[in-house]
Chains A and B, each alone.
Chain A
Amino acid sequence: MRLSVLDKAHSLRTKAVFAAIRIFSGHPVVDAVKLVSYRPDFYGEPMKRLTHEAMRGPSAWSVGDRELMAAVISAANGTGFCVKAHSAVAVRAYGDSHKVSATLADLEAAPLSSALRATLRMLDKLTREHEVSVDDMRTLLAEGVSREQIQDALAVCLAFNITDRLADAFSFAIPGPAAFEAGAKFLLTRGYR
């Protein structure tokens, strides 16, 4: 973590919560949690509300679909921490690790519906190029993706284009697979609040 305040300057109450997490989970507190827990009124609390609504609010996309979107967006940004974290949640949500790994390896060959593939393609472009065209959206609508589904996918993209940038800027440490597994279990059960 490039800012020591994000590592060490949390309130006493938050430090006690972190100690409890370490004891009960058996894993260190990940940097994503440290970020949203530092001066939470400034960033963490409003950002958690935004992320929870995008990822767990009512949508025609499943939780697994939205977690896969988060992983694909994070891969486009080159944000290793978030790719691993949200791949792990998507695997657990789908109960299908091949679908997730195949998507990250080759979107065009992965076993996905045409609507989800086309949506992931658009999110990848938006993240890499910072914009998409009216033609891109026409293509998506022609694939049968509804306007509401596109708006929901863009909400995921908004949330993870914020989180990824901060993960990269502050240089989130990447823990081992067991910590991501524990995090995925928590996020699937409790969401982002």
Chain B
Amino acid sequence: MTDILEAHASLVARILDGEGWAPRSQRKAAYDNAGLKEPLDAFVDKIATHCSDITDGDFNGLRAAGLTEDQVFEIAVCSAVGQAARQYQRALRALEAAAQEDR
């Protein structure tokens, strides 16, 4: 079977703990989709829960709030990786529970 454990852990460690233009606390909040203020809060929640609804206006709002493009890039990446990871972990837990019953 495939083994993504190390690659996934490396990705998460790099985007959350490594150097970046956005503060680490902001990157972690984007990853968790929790604890951000507007306009970042709405932007991050859109990426996590209804990404196809993102518009140019969302990006313009972030620029108007003083965020640089590099900060927006990092925050978007952290949000996407965080939401995908939560879905992945939930599914693995469901699989683990079902497989335990199977034994």
Contact = CB atoms under 8 A, between A and B. Distances in A.
A54 interface: yes
B38 interface: no
A88 B75 CA distance: 30
Nearest to B75: A169
Nearest to A170: B76
B91 A53 contact: no
Contacts of A135: 98
Interface stretch (A17-25, A57-65, A105-113, A181-189): A57-65
Contacts of A47: 11
A38 B101 CA distance: 46
Contacts of A162: 80-81, 84
B40 interface: no
Interface string B68-85: 011011101101110111
A166 B20 CA distance: 18
Interface residues of B, number: 46
Contact of B91 (A6, A77, A154, A169): A154
B4 A150 contact: no
B10 A49 contact: yes
Given A43-B77, A57-B2, 14 more contacts: A5-B73, A46-B10, A50-B8, A53-B7, A57-B1, A59-B1, A126-B87, A131-B90, A134-B98, A140-B98, A149-B1, A154-B92, A166-B76, A169-B51
Interface of B: 1-4, 7-8, 10-11, 14-15, 18, 20, 47-49, 51-52, 54, 56, 59, 69-70, 72-74, 76-77, 79-81, 83-88, 90-92, 94-95, 97-99, 101-102
Closest 7 CB pairs of A and B: A57-B2, A137-B98, A165-B80, A161-B84, A46-B11, A50-B7, A148-B1
16 contacts: A39-B70, A41-B14, A43-B77, A54-B2, A57-B2, A58-B1, A79-B52, A131-B90, A134-B101, A138-B101, A151-B2, A161-B88, A162-B81, A168-B47, A168-B52, A168-B54
